[in-house]
Amino acid sequence: MFDGLLTITVFLPAAVALLVTLFARGENADQQIRWISIGATVVTFALSVLVFVGYDQSAGGIQMIDHFERWIPIDALRSSYLLGVDGLSAPLVLLTGILGMAAALGSWRIKKRVREYFLWLLLLETAVFGVFVSLDLLLFFIFFEFELIPMFMLIAIWGSGRPRYSAMKFVLFTLAGGAFMLVAILAIYVSPDVNTLAMVSIPELGITGIPELMAGADLAAPAALIFGFFFIAFAVKLPLWPVHSWLPDAHTDAPTAVSVMLAGVLLKMAGYGLLRINLGFFQETKGFTIHDVAGAMSIVAAISVIYGGIITIRQTDMKRLIAYSSISHMGFVMLGVAAVGTSAAQTSAAGLNGAALQMFTHGTITGLAFLMVGLSYDRTHTRHIPHLGGLWKKMPLIAIFFLIAGFGSLGLPALSGFVAEIMVFLGTFSVWPWATGVAAFGVVLAAGYTLWMVQRVFFGERPATPGLSDEVYDNLTDANWVDMIPVIALAAPIFIVGIWPSVVTDMFDIGIQAVLR
Amino acid sequence: MTAHDYWVLSPAIAMALLALVTISVDLVTRNMAKVSTVAFLGLSAPIILTLNLWFGWFGDPATAREATGVAELGSALFGSVETDRFALFFDFLLLTVTAGTILASAKYIASDRMKDYGGEFVSLVLLSVTGMMILVSATELITIYVALELTALPVVALAAIHRTKQGVEAGTKFFVLSAISSAILLYGFAYIYGYTGSTHLDVIMNRLAVLPTEAGVPFGSYAVLLSVIMIVAGFGFKMAVVPWQMWVPDVYQGAPTPVAAFLSVASKAAAFAVIMRIMYVAFGDPVLMQDWSGLFAILAAVTMTVGNTLALSQSNIKRLLGYSTIAQAGYILVGVASVPANQVGASFAGAGPQGVLYYLAGYAFTNLAVFFAVIAITSRTNDDSIEGLNGLLKRSPLLAGLLVFGLLSLLGMPPTVGFMAKVVVFGSAINANLTWLAVIGVVNTVIAAYYYLRVIRAIVFEDAADESTFSADKPLLAAAGVAAVGAGVFGLAPFLLLEFAEQALSIIPAIIPGI
């Protein structure tokens, strides 16, 4: 079975990137590269919409399968080239399409080493797409790790502050997590009862997936250990307290578009992994199931939310502030996953749906916030909050959209953040009332740090000294139409999902129900 | 020799003739550009003849076989040489490597200190490849031995071609150790001949099956045990396997870099080919297979660990690559040790041997990319320490990119061929009940990450003492680029090589029964 759409979606950015890098020559090369790369992300976005819309909700299951069994033609290895989407991955594919396009558009002003920059940015997009559509564990791992090389280069070469340090920290954290994941994959693979790498069952292809095979099977290592290794890999990536410390550095030092990609989709790879693997594989395993640690997960989630929120309030760098707020918001994802409860009967699908939706909304909201910080920084050349103030008069558009991102992030009704958080709270409260109650304070904190920052940066008075000099302040300009295209692209889904959430929640629900079996 | 013999040996014969033509061109024109061009273009002859044998374009070898009445498909010279698909797989690999080496040394042989020996350089390489092509086809012990000597002697001259102190030391070291290992090998051959009364691999297998065995003794008899150990020791030298690895770093450092590149890939591939053939054909009985699997598993574990550990403290890039090739040989040995006889479940279709072929080919592309990039860089900077690579990314982005990509593949980073090859080899080890070996392999990969990343860090992050930019000559760059593209493509699409490898192995009954 080879539908082809997913393969094209995944590899189009990489293919264009390689061709452009090799063949764009001459004086106008940089301009050509910009146009062609952005064109490629727009086409990829259209393809991702096609994937999302083309998914037949009434049929459910895995669709648009690209299966090439003889990818590694060794029967014993039981790995195949298997791509497909279900309700869980289709919205994330769409999210990647949107953010990939926004990131490329937002990189319009990059002047340094344009050729390489777009090469890495497009390769990054391919890697992220690959993670969301791979249904073979080996393939999933390849894409999960492959994302490191472009990220490393993008942060190290085009970053600011201490880019090499941050890039190295990011890579080391993720590599360490990846090593745990590889061991976990091997442990599943070597278990005689399982010995496959297919992540889902696909009856029409005769594929029995790991979730089904692992139910009640004897594993080569204790199920708790395998679960833990996967969990570590994803906790680092999500990131959860206490393995979050790479994130503020990476975010702060990365160029704007890379921050957008990092917060928008890279963190979602971890949430997706938690739902697909930790939840999907470990519901009926012998001796240990995800239900045994749901309580612990809810506590870690609550700590992440509150700890992230408190640290966020103290930040004085706009970008670092948003980075820390991501830790708090990704804690909600973990909290939603904890809604799986202590038994299958207790499981709240609403909480899990909320976790999935929180990934989608956080992607667009935080992506937008980073984009706005980038636009503001391009003009003021500082992100230090006490140095700023009264920017509203000079750049109203930037301020408005910054405010939209802020409202989304604090969970204002009619914006998508509200829907996701309310689903997580309602779903998880029935299972873990205390942890949810504590985590709900995260919303109060979010309101605090978001509004306070907006107030200090855009409203209020200009600080006398040390702030922007009169010359700089007087010459500040608002965003122009080129800047606004990616902004609109990210703001639109925030409103659409806020007002009409079922456009993605129906989809997620199909995926979650399938994962819960 | 019958017409059929010539037919079967045609690729090797063409190669030998090409060596003679090349040296004649050198004699007549004294123009190194012409020598390189003739050698490079002339390679199309053996390539076409190899393709012909694989596809049977100009008459199927099978029909020729019926006409001559020789029993085996494509066998010649009374069954002592067999240009089957297994041999052809390695012929392709060797020819690709040779083409790359000639392309990469075009500038080098035209340099001032080389131009008097440029023709000799190229024809010695071609002669050595001739030996390797016969070696991978040989199915009889004496032929194997003769081909092996033909492979090794030109390399001795190549290593010492500069006649500098280091070069001569490298050449002498290689010569002496090569001679000793040949002697040991010959001793092993003599034992097995004395025990079974034949030098033909297939006959040896048949005799071993009927000869009485002693219970509790590996291989059923001390004579066979001793012989296997000596054979493995003899080839261990060529494969650069611990404890016969001492020559590698010295020779790599002392010999001209194109020679080191050639040695690290071609000579290793040929040695692995012949050891696989001997083991699977002569000792292919499932019981014997389990015995030598254990031997190779231990060698693999020791080789990986020693190679990687010693590489950690190197400060010279060529020496570091020398130790890295030792470690890589260890990974390949994991595949050799993963024999079908130890399989778990019925669906095992020779994953270990397939992994070996895949790893060797992938490694060839990767290592050539790395070595060619190093040649290009050191020929400009005249500094082969790792500090000499500092800030390379700014000085020569393209070469830096190629080198980093190659190093990432050696390290086994997804999605390069290095990663995929390790997955296949370690996966086959797990399937062959050698999970402990796979675990040692994974741990070694992590150790290796340290020194590969150290080089990458120097290239990407350190500041160069000399900021001047440079690029490489077109032929060298093309060779390195093609090698790197190969390493990328075969990583993303492993089936391209693995299908090929499966066909190559299908002719060895002990690997894939029933085909």
The total domain count for chain B is 1
Looking at the predicted structure, is the pLDDT value of residue B183 above 80? Answer: yes
What share of chain B in percent tops pLDDT 70?
93
Contact present, A446 and A314 (Cβ < 8 Å): no
Distance from CA of A124 to the nearest CA of B (A): 13
Tell how strand B75-76 and strand B81-82 pair up. antiparallel
SS3 call for A460 = coil
Question: In 3D, which of B235, B297, B343 has the Cα closest to residue B441?
Answer: B297
Q: Determine which of B430, B435, B497, B502 to mutate to test the interface with A (most A C-beta atoms within 10 Å).
A: B430
Contact assignment for B420 to A116 by CB distance below 8 Å: no
The pLDDT assigned to B265 comes to 92
Which residue type does B318 have?
K
The pLDDT assigned to B331 comes to 94
- Tens of pLDDT along B248-294? 888 888 888 888 899 889 999 999 999 999 998 888 888 888 888 88
- The token duo for B136 is 């991978």
d(CA A256, CA A487): 13
User: Tokens 């100009």 identify what position?
Assistant: B58
A190 CB neighbours in chain B (<8 A) are 430, 435
Position B327 in a domain: yes
Query: How far, CA to CA in Å, does A443 sit from each of A403, A430, A436, B277?
Result: 16, 19, 11, 68
The pLDDT assigned to B147 comes to 93
Contact assignment for B498 to A164 by CB distance below 8 Å: no
Taking an 8 Å Cβ-Cβ cutoff, which residues of chain B contact chain A? 343-345, 347-349, 351, 354-355, 397, 408, 413-415, 419-420, 423-424, 426-428, 430-431, 435, 438, 442, 446, 449, 460-461, 493-495, 498-499, 502
Contact present, A406 and A314 (Cβ < 8 Å): no
Q: Determine which of A7, A67, A72 to mutate to test the interface with B (most B C-beta atoms within 10 Å).
A: A72
Which residue type does A14 have?
A
Contact assignment for A76 to B460 by CB distance below 8 Å: no
In terms of residue numbers, what domain contains B403?
A: 284-515
What is the interface size between A and B, counted as CB pairs within 8 Å? 78
The pLDDT assigned to B343 comes to 66
Task: Write down the H helix ranges in B197-241.
Answer: 201-210, 222-239
> CB-CB: which of A68, A74, A164 is closest to B461?
A164
Question: In 3D, which of B407, B380, B414, B386 has the Cα closest to residue B484?
Answer: B407
Residue ranges of domains in chain A:
292-510
- The token duo for A158 is 């085009």
SS3 call for A126 = helix
pLDDT band at B515 (very low <50, low <70, confident <90, very high): very low
pLDDT band at B15 (very low <50, low <70, confident <90, very high): very high
Beta bridge partners of A66: A2, A83
Which residue type does A435 have?
A
The pLDDT assigned to B106 comes to 86
Looking at the predicted structure, is the pLDDT value of residue B220 above 80? Answer: no
d(CA B241, CA B330): 7
Contact assignment for B423 to A179 by CB distance below 8 Å: no
Looking at the predicted structure, is the pLDDT value of residue B348 above 70? Answer: no
- Tally helices (H) and strands (E) across chain A: 22, 2
SS3 call for B467 = coil
Phi, psi of A128 (to 5 degrees): -65, -45
- Number of Cβ atoms within 10 Å of the Cβ of A466: 10
The pLDDT assigned to B190 comes to 92
Q: Which residues of A369-384 are buried (b: 16+ CB within 10 A; e: fewer)?
A: bbbbbbbbeebbebbe
The DSSP-derived string for A76-111 is GG---EEEEE-TTHHHHHHHHHHHHHHHHHHTTT--
Contact assignment for A186 to B438 by CB distance below 8 Å: yes
pLDDT band at B13 (very low <50, low <70, confident <90, very high): very high
pLDDT band at B133 (very low <50, low <70, confident <90, very high): very high
Mean pLDDT over B426-454 rounds to 86
SS3 call for A414 = coil
What Rg do the C-alpha atoms of chain A give, in angstroms?
22
Contact present, A327 and A304 (Cβ < 8 Å): yes
**Close Cβ partners of B504 (under 8 Å, ≥ 6 residues apart):** B85, B86, B88, B89, B357
> CB-CB: which of A71, A145, A179 is closest to B446?
A179
Position B225 in a domain: no
Looking at the predicted structure, is the pLDDT value of residue B364 above 90? Answer: yes
Residue A199 C-beta-side C-alpha neighbours within 13 Å: 31
Mean pLDDT over B339-350 rounds to 63
Contact assignment for A76 to B494 by CB distance below 8 Å: no
- Number of Cβ atoms within 10 Å of the Cβ of A392: 17
> CB-CB: which of B354, B413, B415 is closest to A74?
B354
What residue ranges of chain A have pLDDT lower than 70? 76, 464-467
Contact assignment for A142 to B419 by CB distance below 8 Å: yes
Query: How many residues are there in chain B?
Result: 515
Centroid of chain to Cα B368: 11
pLDDT band at B71 (very low <50, low <70, confident <90, very high): very low
d(CA A294, CA A251): 30
Distance from CA of B418 to the nearest CA of A (A): 12
Taking an 8 Å Cβ-Cβ cutoff, which residues of chain A contact chain B? 68, 70-77, 79, 116, 138, 141-143, 145-146, 149, 156, 164, 175, 179, 182-183, 186, 189-190, 192, 195, 220
Average pLDDT value over all residues in chain B: 85
> CB-CB: which of B349, B419, B446 is closest to A74?
B349
B458 CB neighbours in chain A (<8 A) are none
> CB-CB: which of A71, A145, A192 is closest to B344?
A192
Distance from CA of A406 to the nearest CA of B (A): 37
A146 CB neighbours in chain B (<8 A) are 414-415
- The alpha carbon dihedral of A353, A358, A361, A364 has a sign of negative
> Which is more confident, B2 or B487?
B487
d(CA B215, CA B222): 11
Query: How far, CA to CA in Å, does B279 sit from each of A199, B219, B275, B283, B284?
Result: 38, 12, 6, 5, 6
Distance from CA of A142 to the nearest CA of B (A): 5
Mean pLDDT over B382-390 rounds to 85
Question: In 3D, which of A183, A199, A85, A86 has the Cα closest to residue A139?
Answer: A199
The pLDDT assigned to B59 comes to 61
d(CA B103, CA A410): 63
The pLDDT assigned to B344 comes to 60
Contact assignment for B498 to A74 by CB distance below 8 Å: yes
Question: In 3D, which of A251, A237, A393, A390 has the Cα closest to residue A320?
Answer: A251
d(CA B447, CA B304): 10
Beta bridge partners of B81: B76, B138
Of the candidate ranges A63-67, A430-434, B75-79, B156-160, the one whose mean pLDDT is the lowest: B75-79
Distance from CA of A72 to the nearest CA of B (A): 5
Contact assignment for A76 to B347 by CB distance below 8 Å: yes
Residue of B nearest to A176 (CA): B446
A37 sits in which H/E element: helix A29-54
Contact assignment for B424 to A76 by CB distance below 8 Å: no
Please write down the long-range contacts of B158-164, taking CB distance under 8 Å and 24 or more positions apart.
B158/B121, B158/B124, B158/B125, B158/B128, B158/B255, B158/B256, B158/B259, B158/B262, B159/B251, B159/B254, B159/B255, B159/B256, B159/B259, B160/B255, B161/B114, B161/B117, B161/B120, B161/B121, B161/B256, B161/B259, B162/B113, B162/B256
d(CA A264, CA A246): 16
Position B51 in a domain: no
The pLDDT assigned to B514 comes to 40
Distance from CA of A510 to the nearest CA of B (A): 32
Q: Determine which of B338, B343, B347 to mutate to test the interface with A (most A C-beta atoms within 10 Å).
A: B347
The DSSP-derived string for A148-189 is HHHHHHHHHHH--SSHHHHHHHHHHHHHHHHHHHHHHHHHHH
User: Tokens 């984009």 identify what position?
Assistant: A371
